[in-house]
Amino acid sequence: MTNWTDPIIHWNQLPGTEVKRLLATWGMDEKAIARYDAKHGYEHRPLAVPAPAKAVASKPAVVAVPKAPAKKAAPAKPAARQKHVGADGDVIFLEHRNMFVGFWGGKRVVIKRTEAACREFLAKVNAT
């Protein structure tokens, strides 16, 4: 079994026995893990020791040349919302919704499928 030393372990990709072993040996040194493997019948693979880093010749530093200031773009306009307005008692047909809209008090108060139903509702609102 692999000895996990990575800081990020993808638990969902490990089989159940490896998850169990990983939890049981968490924080143990190499010798303790070897003893655990021998006791539980697992094949022990020692940790891979990373090779020492080679000296790399440094590259000359690249100096950034300042760019000309870019032109400011016009501020983006928000999407225009459809504002349906009407006077008290008005009924408007909206083709894109296939509905009738009734207004009262400067606001949209009713949306109905038929103009008659819309006018009936507005008559009730006007009566109160």
pLDDT one-digit tens code per residue, 21-72? 888 888 888 888 889 988 988 887 766 555 566 666 666 667 777 777 777 7
Neighbours of 13 (CB within 10 A): 7
pTM above threshold 0.75: no
Q: Is residue 76 part of a domain?
A: no
Confidence at residue 112, expressed as pLDDT on a 0 to 100 scale: 92
Q: Is residue 5 part of a domain?
A: yes
Q: Which residue, among 32, 47, 37, 34, has the nearest Cα to 17 in the 3D structure?
A: 37
Q: Is residue 118 part of a domain?
A: yes
Q: Is residue 56 part of a domain?
A: no
Q: Is residue 71 part of a domain?
A: no
Q: How far apart are CA 102 and CA 86, in angstroms?
A: 8
Q: Is residue 30 part of a domain?
A: yes
Confidence at residue 11, expressed as pLDDT on a 0 to 100 scale: 75
Q: Is residue 65 part of a domain?
A: no
Residue 76: which pLDDT band, with cuts at 50, 70 and 90? low
Q: What strand order describes the sheet that includes 91-94?
A: 91-94, 99-104, 107-112
What's the total number of domains in the chain? 2
Q: How far apart are CA 126 and CA 89, in angstroms?
A: 8
Q: Is residue 15 part of a domain?
A: yes
Q: Which residue, among 88, 93, 84, 87, has the nearest Cα to 125 in the 3D structure?
A: 88
What residues make up the domain containing 113?
A: 91-127
